[in-house]
Amino acid sequence: MATKSSRSKSPSKSPGTFESLNPATGEVVGVFPLTTKDEVDEAVARAKSAAQRWANLSFRARNIALRDWASILTRDMNEAAELIHRETGKPLSDATLEVALAIEHIGWAGKFAPKVLARQSRPAGLLMFNMQAQVQRVPFGVVGVIGPWNYPIFTPVGSIAYALAAGNAVVFKPSEFTPAIGAFLEESWKRIAPFKDVFTVLTGDSKTGAALTESAVDKISFTGSTRTAKKVAASCAERMIPVVLECGGKDAVLVDRDADIKKAAEMTLWHAMSNAGQSCIGAERVYVHRQVADQFKNEIVARARELQPGFGEGAKYGPATMPAQLKVIKSHIDDAVSKGGTFLLGGKDAIKGGYVEPVILADVPEDSLAVTEETFGPTLVINTVSDMDEAVDLANATSYGLGAAVWSKKNGKRIATLLQCGMVSINSAFSFAAIGAVPFGGVKDSGYGRIHGAEGLLEFTYPRTVVKRRFRIPLEFTTFERSERADKILVRLVRLMHKRKIR
C-alpha cells in the first residue's frame, strides 16, 4: 500500500519542463512545458482573435462543436479515466464517473445556452413608455480558467464548457499535478474545433497561473484553495477584470432523528472518504441528533472498516494526490485528539506512506482544526447535538460556506433553508454537482460567482442594455427642451405611482 516514491512536481531533466508523476507508483505520466509569461501573453493574444470569430458564430454552431466534443470524450472515456487514475491515484471507476459527469455538463451548457442567453425584452415603465428596452448577453472575450488537481476534468469543465457555450474563447491552466489530463482535453477539442485557438491549454505551475491572471484575459474562473484565490482576486482587481472563485469547504452533514440512518451512514461515508477525502464538497463534519447518534456511529464505523485505500483493483480510494496535504491531515488529527476528541476508527498512525486509512473522530471540540479548517483527507468528525437548531448553528459557524447535506424524512427542506452555503443535498450526497441545471459555488471563504446551470452561463457574459425610442411623444424628459408642463406631468406621474400613506 505504501507509495514507491514520494511525489514532487520538480522540474524534469529538460529545462523549462516539469514531470507529472503517478502518486501511487512514482511513474512519470508525462513531461510538460512550464509555460512562461511571454508564452502566456502570446497564447492569450491568439485566443483574442479567435474569440471574436467564435462569438460571431450562432448558438447552434457553437452547440454543434460542444456536442461533438462531448461525443469525442464519450468515445475516449476509458482513455481519459485511465489517465486521471494514473495522474491522481483515484480508482478507475471514480475517474470514469468524473469523466461522465464532465460530459453531461458539456452537453447541458451547449444545449441550454440559446435559451438562457437569448435577448430579453423588458417593460420600459410609464415614464419611458415610448421606449423599447432590451437586455443582451455579451461574452467577455477570453476567459482564463485555472484548475485544481482533485477533479482535474470535472471541475475545470464546469467553467470551460459554460464559458465556451456563452461565446468566449478559453485559455486553461491545469494544476501542475494534473497537466496530462489538461493536455488530453485540448487534444480532444482540437479534433472537433471549427478553427484554431478557441480553447488552449497552457501547462505550468503557480507562476504560469499568476501570468494568466496578469495577461490580457477578460475574466478569470479560478478553482483551488482559498489562500490562492485571494492572490488571484488581488491580481484581477489590479486589472479590473471580474473573477469567479471556487474555493475550499468544510461541508457539514446534519442527521436528524427521523433520518434513514443506514442510508445516511452509507452515503455519508462515501461523501467523506471517496477520492481520499479530497473533495471541495466532501463531508468533513457530521452533526447527529443524540437520539440516533450511537446507531449512526456504529453503522458508519462498521462500513468504514471495510474500506481499503490503494491503487489496485478493489481499492476504494487512492493515495493523497498532493503529498504536502499529509502534513495537514496529521496536524488536524493530532490537534483534535489533544483537545479531547476520541477515535471511533483509526488512530494517529493512520498515515501509511502516501495513503491515509479511514479516520473517524467523535466529540471533537468545535475550535479544533479538524472542525474549522479544510482537512482534505479521508477523515470525519462526528459530533452529537440536542436538536437540529444546534446542528444548524454549528454547521454555519465556520468561515466556509460551500455545500452541505441534510438527512431527515420530514424536516429536510426546513433545515436546508437555514444553512449558509451555496448547495444542499437532502437525503443524498454530492448530487447537486451532477445536475447540469443547478448552479455550483459557495459563499464566505468558499468563494463567489457560480459555475453550472443558467447562472453558470450568465456568469460568462455581461448584460448590455439597449433601449430604442419607438415614437416621439410631446413629453420628453431627457432634453434641454423639456417644458414646464412636462415637469408637472412628471411629478404627477411619480406621485401617482409611488405616493403612499405611511403607517
Please identify every residue annotated as catalytic. 246, 280
CA angle, corner 233, sides to 284 and 102, nearest 5? 55
Question: How far is the first Cα of the chain from the last one, in angstroms, to the nearest whole number?
Answer: 73
Burial 209-219 (b: 16+ CB within 10 A, else e): bbbbbbbebbb
Query: Distance between CA 466 and CA 285 in Å, rounded?
Result: 49
User: Which of 3, 22, 35, 155 lies at the binding interface for ligand NAD (CB under 6 A)?
Assistant: 155
In this structure, the number of other CB atoms found within 10 A of the CB of residue 406 comes to: 28
In the chain, the largest separation of any two C-alpha atoms, in whole Å, equals 87
User: Which of 39, 104, 186, 205 lies at the binding interface for ligand NAD (CB under 6 A)?
Assistant: 205
Question: Residue 378 is placed in which grid cell?
Answer: 479521508
Question: Residue 335 is placed in which grid cell?
Answer: 490537534
Minimum distance of ligand NAD from residue 232's CB (angstroms): 5
User: Which of 117, 171, 247, 406 lies at the binding interface for ligand NAD (CB under 6 A)?
Assistant: 247
Which pairs with CB-CB distance under 8 Å and at least 24 residues apart come from 345-348? Answer: 345/301, 345/304, 345/305, 346/379
Q: Does 144 bind ligand NAD (CB under 6 A)?
A: no
Minimum distance of ligand NAD from residue 195's CB (angstroms): 27
> Percent helix, strand, coil in the chain (nearest 5)?
45, 20, 35
Closest residue to bound ligand NAD by CB: 209
Q: Does 213 bind ligand NAD (CB under 6 A)?
A: yes
Minimum distance of ligand NAD from residue 226's CB (angstroms): 7
Q: What is the DSSP letter of 41?
A: H
User: Which of 163, 402, 404, 406 lies at the binding interface for ligand NAD (CB under 6 A)?
Assistant: 402
User: Which of 173, 219, 289, 450 lies at the binding interface for ligand NAD (CB under 6 A)?
Assistant: 173
Q: Does 379 bind ligand NAD (CB under 6 A)?
A: no
Q: Does 151 bind ligand NAD (CB under 6 A)?
A: yes
Three-state SS annotation for 129-162:
CCEEEEEEEEECCEEEEECCCCCCCHHHHHHHHH
Q: Does 221 bind ligand NAD (CB under 6 A)?
A: no
Question: Considering only 120-128, 163-171, 219-227, 283-291, which stretch makes contact with ligand NAD by CB under 6 A?
Answer: 219-227
CA 433 to chain centre: 9
Residue 401's beta-bridge partner residues?
443
Nearer to ligand NAD, 236 or 385 (CB): 236
Q: Residue 469, SS3?
A: strand
**Are the C-beta atoms of residues 474 and 480 closer than 8 Å to each other?**
no
User: Which of 23, 89, 209, 319 lies at the binding interface for ligand NAD (CB under 6 A)?
Assistant: 209
Nearer to ligand NAD, 341 or 456 (CB): 456
Minimum distance of ligand NAD from residue 88's CB (angstroms): 11
Q: Does 150 bind ligand NAD (CB under 6 A)?
A: yes
**Are the C-beta atoms of residues 382 and 284 closer than 8 Å to each other?**
no
Question: Residue count at the site for ligand NAD (CB under 6 A)?
Answer: 30
CA 452 to chain centre: 9
Q: Which helix (H) or strand (E) holds 273?
A: helix 261-273
Q: Does 374 bind ligand NAD (CB under 6 A)?
A: yes
User: Which of 30, 182, 248, 401 lies at the binding interface for ligand NAD (CB under 6 A)?
Assistant: 248
Minimum distance of ligand NAD from residue 111's CB (angstroms): 22
Q: Which helix (H) or strand (E) holds 233?
A: helix 226-239
Closest Cα to residue 184, out of 199, 197, 169?
Answer: 199
Nearer to ligand NAD, 54 or 430 (CB): 430
Q: Does 274 bind ligand NAD (CB under 6 A)?
A: no
CA angle, corner 364, sides to 441 and 315, nearest 5? 65
Nearer to ligand NAD, 170 or 344 (CB): 170
Q: Does 246 bind ligand NAD (CB under 6 A)?
A: yes
Q: Does 218 bind ligand NAD (CB under 6 A)?
A: no
Nearer to ligand NAD, 167 or 449 (CB): 449
Minimum distance of ligand NAD from residue 424's CB (angstroms): 15
Closest Cα to residue 425, out of 251, 307, 261?
Answer: 251
Residue 287: burial class (beta carbons within 10 Å; 0-12, 13-18, 19+): buried
Strands (E), 290-389: 342-345, 351-352, 355-356, 359-362, 379-385
**Are the C-beta atoms of residues 222 and 230 closer than 8 Å to each other?**
no
Q: Does 69 bind ligand NAD (CB under 6 A)?
A: no
Site for ligand NAD in 427-486 (CB under 6 A): 442
Q: Does 161 bind ligand NAD (CB under 6 A)?
A: no
User: Which of 25, 49, 130, 225 lies at the binding interface for ligand NAD (CB under 6 A)?
Assistant: 225
Nearer to ligand NAD, 94 or 374 (CB): 374
Q: Does 178 bind ligand NAD (CB under 6 A)?
A: no
Q: Does 23 bind ligand NAD (CB under 6 A)?
A: no
Question: Considering only 97-105, 204-212, 333-341, 475-483, which stretch makes contact with ligand NAD by CB under 6 A?
Answer: 204-212
Question: Residue 6 is placed in which grid cell?
Answer: 514520494
- Binding residues vs ligand NAD (CB under 6 A): 146-151, 155, 173, 175-176, 205-206, 209-210, 213, 223-225, 228, 231-232, 246-249, 280, 322, 374, 402, 442
